[in-house]
């Protein structure tokens, strides 16, 4: 991973604070219930600073949904993946680390907001894209050139293509941390069962 400078950390912290404030305001008041001035007041920055990071409040709201709060913990977990693990097994661990109940829940909230406020939809799709490309970069880094890039992209896009309906609420799957008491339907899958189903197809073929 690329080592960050103190300046990089400060810029990242500022962007996260503004995005978090925007996302929280959208959940509390809806997209039409606040303006950029409310975001900067809540985050403790100036409007000029906001303009250095975001073009509009919709972009900030979408980025707030995918903000990773503890990147150090995530990077530490990545180092525990065995070096001899197959690319498919590496991806399996990566997805379990990345798609926490918090992240999926926030993306679901963002999806609901984008349906209610169409101006948010392109930013929602970009947030999903950034999450996916982040996983792609990490997987390419972990594979260290041992696998063909086409194979790498095929795997990651297959998994994320299936995860998107989960985020949109179209698949009956319990989020990580939820139990069957939250949805007693016999057709309901746990998140682990959902991942196992995906990886069963990838391992054994369609």
Domain residue ranges of the chain, discontinuous segments joined by +: 1-65, 69-206
pTM given for the model = 0.81
Q: Is 189 helix (H, G, I), strand (E, B) or coil?
A: strand
- Please tell me the predicted confidence (pLDDT) of residue 195: 84
- Please tell me the predicted confidence (pLDDT) of residue 20: 96
- Please tell me the predicted confidence (pLDDT) of residue 77: 65
How far apart are alpha carbons 43 and 181 in whole angstroms?
Answer: 37
Number of H helices, E strands in the chain: 10, 0
- pLDDT < 70 regions, the chain: 1-4, 68-77, 176-177, 179-184, 206
- Please tell me the predicted confidence (pLDDT) of residue 1: 44
Burial 106-141 (b: 16+ CB within 10 A, else e): bbbebbebbeebeebbebbeebbeebbeebbebbbe
- Residues 146 and 140 sit within 8 Å (Cβ to Cβ): no
Domain 1-65 classification at class level: mainly alpha
Q: How far is CA 5 from the centre of its chain?
A: 24
The number of beta carbons lying within 10 Å of the beta carbon of residue 77 is 14
């Amino acid at each position: 991973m690329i080592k960050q400078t103190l300046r990089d950390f400060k810029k990242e912290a500022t962007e996260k604070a503004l995005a978090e404030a925007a996302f929280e305001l959208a959940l509390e008041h809806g997209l039409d219930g606040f303006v950029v001035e409310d975001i900067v007041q809540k985050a403790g920055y100036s409007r000029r600073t906001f303009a250095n990071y975001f073009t509009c409040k919709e972009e900030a709201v979408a980025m707030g949904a995918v903000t990773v709060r503890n990147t150090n913990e995530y990077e530490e977990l990545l180092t525990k993946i065995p070096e001899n693990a197959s690319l498919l097994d590496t991806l399996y661990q990566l997805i379990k680390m990345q798609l926490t109940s918090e992240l999926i829940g926030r993306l679901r909230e963002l999806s609901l907001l984008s349906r209610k406020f169409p101006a948010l939809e392109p930013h929602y799709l970009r947030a999903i894209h950034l999450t996916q490309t982040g996983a792609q970069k990490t997987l390419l880094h972990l594979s260290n050139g041992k696998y063909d890039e086409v194979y790498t992209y095929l795997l990651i896009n297959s998994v994320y293509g299936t995860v998107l309906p989960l985020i949109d609420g179209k698949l009956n799957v319990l989020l990580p941390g939820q139990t069957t008491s939250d949805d007693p339907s016999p057709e309901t899958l746990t998140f682990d069962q959902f991942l196992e189903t995906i990886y069963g197809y990838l391992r054994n073929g369609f």
